[in-house]
Structure 1
Amino acid sequence: MARKLLAGALLAVLVVTSGCLGFILGDTLSYSANKATVADDALSGTDYEKANEKQLNTKRSFEVAGENRDVKVTNWVTQYEKSVGISGVAEGTIAKFTVLSSPRFELAGESVNPLARYNNRQLVEKFVSGYGNVKDVRETDARNVTMLGSETKVSTFSAVAQSNGASVEVNIHVTKVEHGDDVVVAMAVYPKQLDESETVYRLIEGVEHEA
């Protein structure tokens, strides 16, 4: 009986870790996200239109059991834009709303995709503050909304962006949820003189993603 129990336990371990076994032995693991978009009814009447939709493929190396192995990650980015000329500031200024989906995966029992660990401020620091033309990023507000069936905090940040030699104050909204096997991030940027916040919340609530 003891041998049967031991054999069953080993079989269970083998089944659970078979994917990692190939990784350790030299196979390259691949993880792909499902595309996230905004529903047509949420877009209706907002003047936002899909600008582009693309896959972003990255490769990273990780160390497991003392061996370095490559992991291929396929992310999806869908961006929507709204043309909003502001008299006296910048004609043709663009408001942008972006949805990013990235696979959430673990190696050796630990979450590897950093997006799963980042809070909203860290997301802004990684995606926006890293650009030299965006300065003075500070959080100004927060609001809970529902995205993909989960209540999530949407953080609002203000910043100063340099564009064609002129300084423009902008608002940045950002939030994320874990949905299915992916991390889904929604982010919006627009000139502070515009009041796009309610529209942004509507777009966030209208995000679609196949779990």
Structure 2
Amino acid sequence: MRDLIVQWLTAVTAQFWQSSLSMDQFVTALQETFQMVFFAMIFGGIWGFIQGITMVLTRPKGILPNRVIYHGLNPLINALRSLPFIILLIAVIPLTKFLVGSSIGTWAAIVPLTIYIGPYMGRLIETSLLEVNEGIIESAQAMGATPAQIVFRFILPEARSSLILNLTTATISLIGATAMAGVVGAGGIGDLAVSYGYQRFDSSVVILTVVVLLILVQLVQMLGEWLAKLR
């Protein structure tokens, strides 16, 4: 089995060097993928944490119950999460042009990626925070802690491992979305698969992009599981 895997990787590598794709193009595409994931995770993470914490605080049995905010934000998150990314990518083109001046390119893709991952992360963060034992919150309230202190000194530290694992899941989902964004000229690994693999009938490039994405996902998953176990 091991020899078969080695032979397959050797064949793929040989085909890659014979393809129309250069190493510089591959490295550039990889950098574009990292850029999209990094900035979309930062902006989407900020948005997601605000959503998740707000949902937990304002829910009917929350620390600061507020029916207007909760029942207004909840369907908005559900609506954005229900949109397929490719449709969202097209729907926000006017907003993308307004913010970055173009609807094509790596920076343009970060806008729909942020809108896509923000609500998704918000729901995951809400789920992690709701897993915290209610006794911890009641103890914090009994000690006179403010809502902000309850969130940042009690709930978030207790939900740390679950948050890391859920954020890992969100990152993997985002990597898949960046590959899809490449279909419309956003750059990155997905763009290589379409422009140099599919359109030029070069199967070696398609295989290479699949292998690279699999490796990226596996590395992210391993890193998330390692961080979740740290104390």
Shorter-chain TM band: under 0.3
TM-score (norm 1): 0.27
Task: Give the structure with the higher percent helix.
Answer: 2
Greater RCO, CA 8 A, separation 6+:
2
TM-score (norm 2): 0.25
Task: Give the structure with the higher percent strand.
Answer: 1
